[in-house]
Amino acid sequence: MLKINNLHVMVDDKLILKGIDLEINQGEIHAIMGPNGSGKSTLAKVLAGHPKYQITEGSIEFFDGQEYINLAELEIHERAKSGIFLGFQYPTEIPGISNLGFLRESVNNVWKAQGKKLLGKDDFIDFLHPIMDILEMKELFLDRSINEGFSGGEKKKNEILQLMILDPKLAILDETDSGLDIDALKVVAEGINRFKRPFNSTILITHYQRLLDHIIPDFIHVLGDGKIIRSGTKDLALELELKGYNWTGVGK
Protein backbone atom coordinates (compact mmCIF):
# COMPACT_ATOMS: atom_id res chain seq x y z
CA MET A 1 0.00 0.00 0.00
CA LEU A 2 2.65 2.52 1.04
CA LYS A 3 6.44 2.30 0.86
CA ILE A 4 8.49 5.09 2.33
CA ASN A 5 12.21 4.81 1.59
CA ASN A 6 14.92 6.88 3.23
CA LEU A 7 12.65 9.94 3.27
CA HIS A 8 14.31 13.29 3.96
CA VAL A 9 12.07 16.37 4.18
CA MET A 10 12.92 20.02 4.56
CA VAL A 11 10.66 22.84 5.78
CA ASP A 12 11.80 26.47 5.54
CA ASP A 13 15.40 25.33 4.92
CA LYS A 14 15.38 23.11 7.98
CA LEU A 15 15.73 19.36 7.67
CA ILE A 16 12.95 17.76 9.70
CA LEU A 17 12.74 14.17 8.46
CA LYS A 18 16.14 12.54 8.26
CA GLY A 19 15.65 9.15 6.68
CA ILE A 20 12.30 7.48 7.35
CA ASP A 21 11.72 3.91 6.21
CA LEU A 22 8.21 2.58 6.59
CA GLU A 23 6.09 0.00 4.81
CA ILE A 24 2.37 -0.29 5.34
CA ASN A 25 0.28 -3.14 3.95
CA GLN A 26 -3.43 -3.31 3.24
CA GLY A 27 -5.62 -3.54 6.31
CA GLU A 28 -2.92 -2.46 8.76
CA ILE A 29 -3.06 0.26 11.36
CA HIS A 30 0.26 1.88 12.21
CA ALA A 31 0.52 4.24 15.12
CA ILE A 32 3.25 6.84 15.03
CA MET A 33 4.21 8.27 18.37
CA GLY A 34 6.91 10.56 19.56
CA PRO A 35 7.57 13.79 21.40
CA ASN A 36 6.73 17.24 20.08
CA GLY A 37 8.97 18.29 17.25
CA SER A 38 9.98 14.75 16.33
CA GLY A 39 8.51 15.11 12.81
CA LYS A 40 5.12 13.36 13.14
CA SER A 41 3.04 16.14 11.58
CA THR A 42 5.69 16.72 8.93
CA LEU A 43 5.30 13.12 7.82
CA ALA A 44 1.51 13.58 7.62
CA LYS A 45 1.75 16.79 5.60
CA VAL A 46 4.34 15.52 3.17
CA LEU A 47 2.16 12.52 2.40
CA ALA A 48 -0.79 14.82 1.63
CA GLY A 49 1.43 17.08 -0.48
CA HIS A 50 1.69 20.34 1.45
CA PRO A 51 3.70 22.69 -0.80
CA LYS A 52 5.92 23.94 2.04
CA TYR A 53 7.36 20.47 2.67
CA GLN A 54 10.16 19.58 0.25
CA ILE A 55 11.42 16.06 -0.26
CA THR A 56 15.21 16.32 -0.55
CA GLU A 57 16.02 12.62 -0.60
CA GLY A 58 14.24 9.29 -0.68
CA SER A 59 10.83 8.36 -2.05
CA ILE A 60 7.20 7.64 -1.27
CA GLU A 61 5.49 4.96 -3.32
CA PHE A 62 1.76 4.42 -3.11
CA PHE A 63 -0.27 1.56 -4.56
CA ASP A 64 -3.18 3.21 -6.33
CA GLY A 65 -5.05 -0.04 -6.95
CA GLN A 66 -3.16 -0.97 -10.11
CA GLU A 67 0.47 -0.10 -9.58
CA TYR A 68 2.89 1.67 -7.31
CA ILE A 69 3.13 5.36 -8.16
CA ASN A 70 5.58 8.04 -7.06
CA LEU A 71 3.46 10.16 -4.75
CA ALA A 72 5.67 13.23 -5.15
CA GLU A 73 4.52 13.56 -8.74
CA LEU A 74 0.87 14.05 -7.82
CA GLU A 75 -0.85 17.36 -7.09
CA ILE A 76 -2.56 17.65 -3.72
CA HIS A 77 -6.04 17.04 -5.13
CA GLU A 78 -4.79 14.11 -7.22
CA ARG A 79 -3.52 12.39 -4.08
CA ALA A 80 -6.98 12.71 -2.56
CA LYS A 81 -8.50 11.27 -5.72
CA SER A 82 -6.07 8.33 -5.71
CA GLY A 83 -7.14 7.46 -2.18
CA ILE A 84 -5.08 9.39 0.38
CA PHE A 85 -6.79 11.25 3.20
CA LEU A 86 -5.27 13.54 5.80
CA GLY A 87 -7.24 14.15 8.97
CA PHE A 88 -5.97 17.52 10.17
CA GLN A 89 -4.65 18.23 13.63
CA TYR A 90 -6.01 21.78 13.35
CA PRO A 91 -8.80 21.82 10.74
CA THR A 92 -8.92 25.25 9.08
CA GLU A 93 -11.96 27.50 9.36
CA ILE A 94 -13.23 28.74 6.02
CA PRO A 95 -15.93 31.43 6.25
CA GLY A 96 -18.74 31.75 3.75
CA ILE A 97 -18.67 28.18 2.39
CA SER A 98 -21.33 25.85 3.77
CA ASN A 99 -20.09 22.58 5.15
CA LEU A 100 -22.66 20.73 3.05
CA GLY A 101 -21.59 22.44 -0.17
CA PHE A 102 -17.96 21.64 0.62
CA LEU A 103 -18.59 17.97 1.50
CA ARG A 104 -20.54 17.53 -1.71
CA GLU A 105 -17.90 19.26 -3.83
CA SER A 106 -15.23 17.05 -2.28
CA VAL A 107 -17.15 13.80 -2.68
CA ASN A 108 -18.20 14.66 -6.24
CA ASN A 109 -14.61 15.37 -7.26
CA VAL A 110 -13.18 12.27 -5.63
CA TRP A 111 -15.95 9.92 -6.75
CA LYS A 112 -15.91 11.28 -10.27
CA ALA A 113 -12.18 10.55 -10.52
CA GLN A 114 -12.83 7.05 -9.17
CA GLY A 115 -15.61 6.43 -11.69
CA LYS A 116 -18.35 6.22 -9.08
CA LYS A 117 -21.88 7.40 -9.67
CA LEU A 118 -22.54 10.86 -8.21
CA LEU A 119 -25.46 11.61 -5.92
CA GLY A 120 -28.02 14.41 -6.28
CA LYS A 121 -28.27 16.84 -3.39
CA ASP A 122 -31.13 15.08 -1.57
CA ASP A 123 -29.60 11.62 -2.03
CA PHE A 124 -26.30 12.98 -0.78
CA ILE A 125 -27.93 14.25 2.41
CA ASP A 126 -29.60 10.85 2.86
CA PHE A 127 -26.19 9.25 2.42
CA LEU A 128 -24.67 11.54 5.09
CA HIS A 129 -27.33 11.07 7.76
CA PRO A 130 -26.50 7.58 9.07
CA ILE A 131 -22.80 8.49 9.24
CA MET A 132 -23.58 11.71 11.09
CA ASP A 133 -25.70 9.65 13.50
CA ILE A 134 -22.74 7.41 14.32
CA LEU A 135 -20.65 10.50 15.00
CA GLU A 136 -23.47 12.14 16.97
CA MET A 137 -23.45 15.17 14.70
CA LYS A 138 -26.51 17.37 14.41
CA GLU A 139 -28.11 18.41 11.10
CA LEU A 140 -27.03 22.00 11.84
CA PHE A 141 -23.44 21.04 10.98
CA LEU A 142 -24.29 21.01 7.33
CA ASP A 143 -25.50 24.61 7.15
CA ARG A 144 -22.60 26.17 9.01
CA SER A 145 -19.46 27.44 7.28
CA ILE A 146 -16.59 24.95 7.17
CA ASN A 147 -15.31 24.51 10.74
CA GLU A 148 -16.23 28.11 11.56
CA GLY A 149 -17.13 28.45 15.22
CA PHE A 150 -16.91 24.66 15.69
CA SER A 151 -15.64 23.42 19.06
CA GLY A 152 -12.45 21.34 19.07
CA GLY A 153 -14.51 18.16 19.25
CA GLU A 154 -16.84 19.24 16.45
CA LYS A 155 -13.91 19.98 14.18
CA LYS A 156 -12.45 16.51 14.74
CA LYS A 157 -15.83 14.87 14.16
CA ASN A 158 -16.07 16.79 10.90
CA GLU A 159 -12.71 15.28 9.90
CA ILE A 160 -13.92 11.77 10.68
CA LEU A 161 -17.15 12.45 8.77
CA GLN A 162 -15.02 13.30 5.73
CA LEU A 163 -12.90 10.19 6.29
CA MET A 164 -15.98 7.99 6.35
CA ILE A 165 -17.65 9.47 3.28
CA LEU A 166 -14.48 9.60 1.17
CA ASP A 167 -13.46 6.09 2.31
CA PRO A 168 -9.80 6.40 1.22
CA LYS A 169 -7.28 3.60 0.76
CA LEU A 170 -4.93 5.27 3.22
CA ALA A 171 -6.00 7.50 6.10
CA ILE A 172 -3.42 9.61 7.88
CA LEU A 173 -4.94 10.88 11.10
CA ASP A 174 -2.85 13.61 12.69
CA GLU A 175 -3.51 13.95 16.44
CA THR A 176 -7.18 13.21 15.91
CA ASP A 177 -7.51 12.59 19.64
CA SER A 178 -6.21 15.98 20.75
CA GLY A 179 -8.80 18.38 22.14
CA LEU A 180 -11.43 15.66 22.64
CA ASP A 181 -13.26 14.86 25.84
CA ILE A 182 -13.83 11.19 26.76
CA ASP A 183 -17.26 10.97 25.08
CA ALA A 184 -16.11 12.60 21.86
CA LEU A 185 -13.00 10.39 21.87
CA LYS A 186 -15.18 7.28 21.99
CA VAL A 187 -17.34 8.52 19.13
CA VAL A 188 -14.33 9.42 17.00
CA ALA A 189 -12.68 6.06 17.73
CA GLU A 190 -15.91 4.31 16.73
CA GLY A 191 -15.76 6.14 13.38
CA ILE A 192 -12.15 5.13 12.82
CA ASN A 193 -12.85 1.51 13.74
CA ARG A 194 -15.72 1.42 11.26
CA PHE A 195 -13.46 2.80 8.58
CA LYS A 196 -10.91 0.01 9.19
CA ARG A 197 -11.54 -2.89 6.83
CA PRO A 198 -9.21 -5.44 5.19
CA PHE A 199 -8.49 -3.26 2.15
CA ASN A 200 -7.67 0.07 3.70
CA SER A 201 -4.89 1.23 5.94
CA THR A 202 -4.43 3.84 8.62
CA ILE A 203 -1.59 5.87 10.01
CA LEU A 204 -2.52 7.12 13.47
CA ILE A 205 -0.37 9.95 14.68
CA THR A 206 -0.72 10.46 18.38
CA HIS A 207 1.14 11.82 21.32
CA TYR A 208 -0.70 9.80 23.92
CA GLN A 209 -1.58 6.21 24.62
CA ARG A 210 -5.28 6.94 25.31
CA LEU A 211 -6.51 6.72 21.67
CA LEU A 212 -4.87 3.30 21.50
CA ASP A 213 -7.20 2.08 24.26
CA HIS A 214 -9.95 2.33 21.66
CA ILE A 215 -8.12 1.53 18.46
CA ILE A 216 -5.69 -1.35 18.46
CA PRO A 217 -2.76 -0.73 16.12
CA ASP A 218 -0.90 -3.53 14.38
CA PHE A 219 2.39 -1.69 14.70
CA ILE A 220 3.76 1.21 16.68
CA HIS A 221 6.68 3.35 15.63
CA VAL A 222 8.42 5.88 17.78
CA LEU A 223 9.76 8.92 16.00
CA GLY A 224 12.66 10.89 17.40
CA ASP A 225 14.54 13.69 15.68
CA GLY A 226 13.24 12.83 12.23
CA LYS A 227 13.90 9.09 12.35
CA ILE A 228 12.05 6.00 13.45
CA ILE A 229 13.98 4.93 16.51
CA ARG A 230 11.86 2.03 17.67
CA SER A 231 9.14 -0.13 16.18
CA GLY A 232 7.01 -2.74 17.85
CA THR A 233 3.49 -3.93 18.57
CA LYS A 234 0.91 -2.45 20.92
CA ASP A 235 2.93 -3.30 23.99
CA LEU A 236 5.40 -0.62 22.98
CA ALA A 237 2.77 2.02 23.63
CA LEU A 238 2.22 0.76 27.14
CA GLU A 239 5.91 0.76 27.80
CA LEU A 240 6.09 4.35 26.56
CA GLU A 241 3.18 5.32 28.76
CA LEU A 242 4.96 3.93 31.79
CA LYS A 243 8.47 5.11 31.11
CA GLY A 244 7.94 8.25 29.01
CA TYR A 245 9.78 9.18 25.83
CA ASN A 246 13.00 9.67 27.75
CA TRP A 247 13.28 5.96 27.98
CA THR A 248 13.69 5.76 24.19
CA GLY A 249 16.52 8.21 24.39
CA VAL A 250 14.79 10.97 22.46
CA GLY A 251 12.81 12.80 25.13
CA LYS A 252 13.25 16.31 26.37
Partner 1 sequence: MKSIDTKYKYGFATDIDSFKFNIGLSEDTILQISKIKEEPPWLLDFRLKAYQHFKTLTPPHWANLKIPPINLDEIYYYSAPKSFNEKKSLDEVDPELLRTFAKLGIPLEEQKRLSSVAIDAVFDSVSLGTTHEDELSKLGIIFCSISKAIKEYPDLVKKYLSSVVPHTDNYYAALNSAVFTDGSFAYIPKGVKCPMDLSTYFRINEGKTGQFERTLIIAEAGSLVNYLEGCTAPQRDENQLHAAVVELIAMENAEINYSTVQNWYAGTHQGVGGIYNFVTKRGKCLGVNSKISWTQVEAGSAITWKYPSCLLIGENSQGAFYSVALTNGHMQADTGTKMIHIGKNTKSTIIAKGICADQSSNTYRGLVKILPNAHHARNYSQCDSMLVGEKSKANTFPYIEVNNHSATIEHEASTSKINEDQLFYLESRGIDREKCISMIINGFCKDVFKKLPLEFAAEASRLLEIKLENSVG
Least Å distance between CB 238 and partner 1? 33
When binding is defined by CB under 8 A, the residue of 22, 33, 71, 80 that contacts partner 1 is 80
Asked whether the beta carbons of 134 and 190 are under 8 A apart, the reply is yes
Instruction: Determine the Cα–Cα distance for residues 45 and 93; give it in Å rounded to an integer.
Output: 18
Amino acid identity, position 193: N
First and final CA of the chain: distance in angstroms? Answer: 34
Closer CB to partner 1, residue 43 or residue 236? Answer: 43
When binding is defined by CB under 8 A, the residue of 22, 48, 160, 220 that contacts partner 1 is 48
DSSP-assigned states of every residue in 151-212: -HHHHHHHHHHHHHHH--SEEEEESTTTT--HHHHHHHHHHHHHH--TT-EEEEE-SSSGGG
Instruction: Determine the Cα–Cα distance for residues 211 and 202; give it in Å rounded to an integer.
Output: 14
Residues of span 196-225 touching partner 1 by CB under 8 A: none
Closer CB to partner 1, residue 83 or residue 217? Answer: 83
Count interface residues toward partner 1 (CB under 8 A): 30
Q: Between 151 and 190, how does the x/- string for binding to partner 1 read (CB under 8 A)? A: -----------x---x------------------------
Query: What 3-state class would DSSP assign to 251?
Result: coil
Kindly list the residues in this chain that would bind partner 1 in the complex (CB under 8 A).
Answer: 48-52, 75-77, 79-81, 85-86, 88, 91-92, 94-97, 102, 105-106, 109-110, 113, 145-146, 162, 166
